[in-house]
Amino acid sequence: MKRLLPLLLALLLCFPIVSCVSPAKAPDWEGQYELGMRFLSDGDWEQAIPALLSAIEIDPKRADAYLALADAYLAAGEADKARELLENVPSNIDNSNAIQEKLDELSGGTDDPSSTAENEATAPNGESAFQNQDGYSAFDDLPEEQQGLADHLLDTALSGGDLTEILESIDWNGGNFQTEHNGYKIRVSMTDMVQTGAYDAPALDGLEQHIRSLLVELRPKEGDGFLLHYQTTKGVINPVFDGDTGDIVGADLGLQTISESASCSCSNWQWNGSMTLSRTISTETSQQYLRGETVSRELWTQINLQTETGQMQNSLRTGTFTTLSESDSNLYGSDSNSWEETYAEGTDFVSLFDIQYASAAEAAEKEIW
């Protein structure tokens, strides 16, 4: 199975509950959980697992980390570990319903595979498992801004429009929510996170990495469902150090944008039918290196398109995706230019890089930033 589908699966299952984070230096639950989620979204299960285990050690009563770790085990092909993990959670965990629902799914659920605990099971008060999940609100109880966003998403998707158009006006601090409206189960997750001290090098202590992500799922009982994932990461990547002095002599300033979407027919709230997964990766990078008294800089952009078509059976969450065609990946376009400048003696490289940040980012900047 290609990495494209597991990435969408992992993202769909896990919805960050923090809309603005400034991680501290010392490990904490939020920092470890967000780190695990980032690895999970990148399809790096080996790195996600220890980060999520660390989050569980810090606070063993929070269900989100257990559910995310179970997803990582499943993605790594270790279903037994996922089941064992969920069977041994503390009795006082904060969301035992979600844990039990996941266990039911792993154990096969009901006799009808299209009728999962998440979709059909009801509590004594008559509410469904979906309604009992953390973060659920009745549509009328949502803030006006979230109601408007839900309406806009549905109108755009059902009219065949481009869901990414909401990125031009979205409030990144608008919060995460899930609700039911006009016959659709709606999930929206937004993250606006700035990390400082993210680089293991004193020379880069003052630099930041900025991550924004949006995940949207629109799922009817019968009809077409839609999924959108959009993420941008901006910051310093691939720092290069002098082997003798340890000074930083080079680095890349990157702005990477990942846009993924999928649509599929739904039956009994599940994704069932032909599905096409589309992914666009746009990378815009300013490279800067010190060679003697000269600073070499290069600005380049690259766009890569990927598509995969197949048959989905019984949901993106727990179902099976059968590939009907080979994944198609092609380079849409690339461009680059380079130049050199005299490096003033005594100028701090990081300060020089900060100055260059503005002009380099200007060419790569998106309106949503």
Alpha carbons 261 and 256: distance in angstroms, whole number:
17
Place of tokens 């490279």: 287
Q: Enter the tokens of residue 64.
A: 């989100």
> Which ranges of the chain does DSSP label H, i.e. alpha helix?
4-13, 29-41, 45-58, 63-75, 79-87, 96-106, 117-120, 129-132, 144-158, 349-364
Q: Enter the tokens of residue 79.
A: 């279903």
Domains of the chain and CATH, by start = 18-113 (1.25.40.10), 135-369 (no CATH)
> Can you say whether the dihedral through the CA atoms of 323, 159, 171, 169 is positive or negative?
positive
For the residues of 144-208, what is the DSSP string, one character each? HHHHHHHHHHHHHHHTT--GGGGGGT--TTS--EEEEETTEEEEEEEEEEEEES-SSSGGGTT-E
Alpha carbons 323 and 2: distance in angstroms, whole number:
9
3-state SS of 295-313 is EEEEEEEEEEEEEEEEEEE
pLDDT in tens, the chain (369 residues): 444 454 444 444 444 433 333 333 446 888 888 888 888 776 677 788 888 998 998 988 888 889 889 888 877 767 778 888 888 888 778 777 788 877 777 664 433 333 344 444 444 445 566 676 667 889 999 999 899 999 999 998 888 888 878 777 777 776 788 899 999 989 898 888 776 655 555 545 555 677 888 888 898 888 888 888 888 877 765 566 666 766 656 666 677 788 888 888 887 777 777 777 787 877 776 665 555 555 566 666 777 777 777 777 766 655 566 655 544 555 544 454 544 444 344 444 344 344 333 333 333 333 322
Q: Enter the tokens of residue 39.
A: 């690895």
